[in-house]
Amino acid sequence: MSSELAIRIEGLSKSFPIYDQPMHRLYQMLSPRKHKQRWYRQFQALNGIDLSVRKGETLGVVGRNGSGKSTLLQVICGTLTPSAGEVQVNGRIAALLELGAGFNPEFTGRENVFLYGTVLGLTRQQVQERFDEIAAFADIGEFIEQPVKNYSSGMYVRLAFAVAINVTPDILVVDEALSVGDEAFQRKCFARINRIRDDGATVLFVSHSAGIVTQLCDRAVLLERGELLSNGSPKFVVSRYHKMLYAPLDRLEAIREAIRMEKEGSDRPVSATLPSLSATDREDAKLVSDAGRTSTASSGSASRGWYDDGLVPKSTVRYDTRGARIAAPHIETPDGRKVNVLHAGDEYVYVFQVHFQESVGGVRFGMLIKTLTGLELGGAASSLPQDSLALVEAGRTVEARFRFRCLLDGGTYFCNAGVLARIAEEETYIDRLIDAAMFRVMPQPERLATGYVDFCVSPDIAVVDAGKVSA
């Protein structure tokens, strides 16, 4: 194994026996070798995985539920043995998988710190030296001296996380373990993981959050049905993951095959890798290919984009209506073409209609764009309160249009829609839709901007005095 690699995986497969009835387990045990296989079916959790992870690299692992992510991490950590293939690991692993799996419920928190620390490879002296830091990180106060069977579930995993995170590993494996505790504790966990990464450790990170993967990871891989479908930059891989995640069932296999072909022949032209796809798929792939080119679209140029039937929000929440109802929220190009796959730098229009069942005054409209995790990026109102529509009569329909330039990083975003009016001299929502529409921005491999929003910064670097330049 190369000294530059922390993990090397070749031809890894893992299968599990599936029994139709519990008694078939016994029948299998008692049957002769040549008849054992008749009592179970094989479930292929991993199939022919080849993967190398460099030392100091942060690798994100994404995929739908049941794709094999947790199984892959457990094989790497040694808690599962592979059915076929080879896994080589160079360095001490700390795994945040099933937190607290080594705790004894009858022991106190202090005693379990020493027990769990030993399980993770520390000596008693090393645990003693780090105990104060572990206790401070867990922040459970005097409960550290109480049996853990009396802990709440949150206290239990906080203590387990505090021990695991203080092992100082060469390889840190995190499987959706950052949902423990309150927001302050989660921020502390992220800060510690960043510190471990900055100190040169290798990090394997499983998450369904595209924002977290793109922020933390240097590279990402996409698993689907136990197969490694895509391997590349987080932006590239997450865009494929979302394309599969939101795809209609009748198009899922074609999308999966297109992603597989990209992985196997990424040096070929995009059009050559998509011979059997629909026009929608081909246009979507073309947008990915074009995304690397810097966009200089002006307000008068044609806006690029496409409509993907699979991008339909499932988290829409409507406020109680009070005489009005929002309908048909969507995004379109300035020339009226409906889209939800956008190209960074181009202009678009967010449109929705409002049907008024009652006459109301002081009417305004609003929109908001949010990230996948709900972070509010920005939006606009149609007017100031003093410039609102004085009266909209019952039976009228008003169309609200919000023109904007897409200056967002590649990823998936949601739009809110709202309508306000004065009721009893107070401005209030008479209808509001949370996650009314969703859209995807294609990745931009050559993007220099950082963060979610491109502020069109123009860097200007010049050495003014070579003798005085310092870090």
Predicted confidence at residue 18, as pLDDT, reads 77
Kind of pairing, strands 84-89 and 227-232? unpaired
User: Taking 60 as the threshold, does the pLDDT of residue 34 lie above it?
Assistant: yes
Average pLDDT over residues 420-443: 90
The C-alpha atoms of residue 131 and residue 65 are separated, in whole angstroms, by 37
Average pLDDT over residues 328-355: 95
User: Taking 70 as the threshold, does the pLDDT of residue 274 lie above it?
Assistant: no
More confident site: 299 or 219: 219
Helices 109-119 and 124-138 meet at what angle, rounded to 10?
120
Predicted confidence at residue 346, as pLDDT, reads 94
DSSP state of 268: S
Count of CB atoms situated within 10 Å of the CB of 35: 11
More confident site: 70 or 438: 438
DSSP secondary structure string for all residues of 361-381: EEEEEEEEEEETT--EEEEEE
More confident site: 342 or 26: 342
CATH of the domain at 436: 2.70.50.60
Under 8 Å between Cβ of 451 and 409: yes
User: Taking 60 as the threshold, does the pLDDT of residue 266 lie above it?
Assistant: no
Q: Are residues 189 and 326 in the same domain?
A: no
Q: Are residues 336 and 209 in the same domain?
A: no
Q: Are residues 17 and 125 in the same domain?
A: yes
Which of 201, 223, 245 terminates a domain? The answer is: 223
User: Taking 60 as the threshold, does the pLDDT of residue 93 lie above it?
Assistant: yes
Which two tokens mark 58?
């942060």
The C-alpha atoms of residue 317 and residue 421 are separated, in whole angstroms, by 20
User: Taking 90 as the threshold, does the pLDDT of residue 151 lie above it?
Assistant: no
DSSP state of 277: -
Q: Could you report the per-residue pLDDT of 432-453, keeping only the tens digit for each?
A: 998 899 999 998 878 889 888 9
User: Taking 90 as the threshold, does the pLDDT of residue 247 lie above it?
Assistant: no
Lowest mean pLDDT among 131-140, 282-291, 306-315: 282-291
Confidence of residue 465 (pLDDT cuts 50, 70, 90): confident
| Residue range of the domain that includes 389 | 317-441
Confidence of residue 400 (pLDDT cuts 50, 70, 90): very high
SS3 391: strand
Which two tokens mark 327?
């309908």
- Tell me if 116 is assigned to some domain: yes
- Tell me if 384 is assigned to some domain: yes
Burial of 381 (0-12, 13-18, 19+ CB in 10 A): middle
User: Taking 70 as the threshold, does the pLDDT of residue 289 lie above it?
Assistant: no
- Tell me if 298 is assigned to some domain: no
Percentage of the chain exceeding pLDDT 90: 37
Predicted confidence at residue 390, as pLDDT, reads 94
pTM: 0.55
Average pLDDT over residues 108-132: 88
Kind of pairing, strands 341-342 and 376-381? unpaired
Predicted confidence at residue 107, as pLDDT, reads 92
User: Which of 313-340 are b and which e, b meaning 16 or more Cβ less than 10 Å from the residue's Cβ?
Assistant: beeeeeeebbbbbbeebbbbbeeeeebb
User: Taking 90 as the threshold, does the pLDDT of residue 357 lie above it?
Assistant: yes
- Tell me if 278 is assigned to some domain: no
Q: Are residues 212 and 327 in the same domain?
A: no
Predicted confidence at residue 42, as pLDDT, reads 79
Q: Are residues 329 and 434 in the same domain?
A: yes
More confident site: 181 or 324: 324
- Tell me if 268 is assigned to some domain: no
User: Which of 412-441 are b and which e, b meaning 16 or more Cβ less than 10 Å from the residue's Cβ?
Assistant: bbbbbbbbbbbbeeeeebbbbbbbbbbbbb
CATH of the domain at 118: 3.40.50.300
Lowest mean pLDDT among 25-34, 216-225, 458-467: 25-34
Which of 172, 205, 223 terminates a domain? The answer is: 223
Mean pLDDT of the residues in the chain: 82
Q: Are residues 16 and 164 in the same domain?
A: yes
Q: Are residues 186 and 66 in the same domain?
A: yes
Which of 205, 223, 241 terminates a domain? The answer is: 223
Number of domains in the chain: 2
Lowest mean pLDDT among 45-49, 190-194, 380-384: 190-194
Confidence of residue 152 (pLDDT cuts 50, 70, 90): confident
- Tell me if 206 is assigned to some domain: yes
Confidence of residue 202 (pLDDT cuts 50, 70, 90): very high
User: Taking 80 as the threshold, does the pLDDT of residue 41 lie above it?
Assistant: no
Single out the residue of 371, 354, 302 nearest to residue 332, CA to CA.
Answer: 302
- Tell me if 469 is assigned to some domain: no
User: Taking 80 as the threshold, does the pLDDT of residue 364 lie above it?
Assistant: yes
DSSP secondary structure string for all residues of 287-338: HHHHTTSPP---TTSPPPEE--TT---S--EEPPPSSEEEEEEEEE-TTS-E
- Phi then psi dihedrals of residue 245, to 5 deg: -60, -40
Which two tokens mark 461?
């670097």
- Tell me if 402 is assigned to some domain: yes
Q: Are residues 55 and 169 in the same domain?
A: yes
Predicted confidence at residue 329, as pLDDT, reads 97
The C-alpha atoms of residue 138 and residue 293 are separated, in whole angstroms, by 47
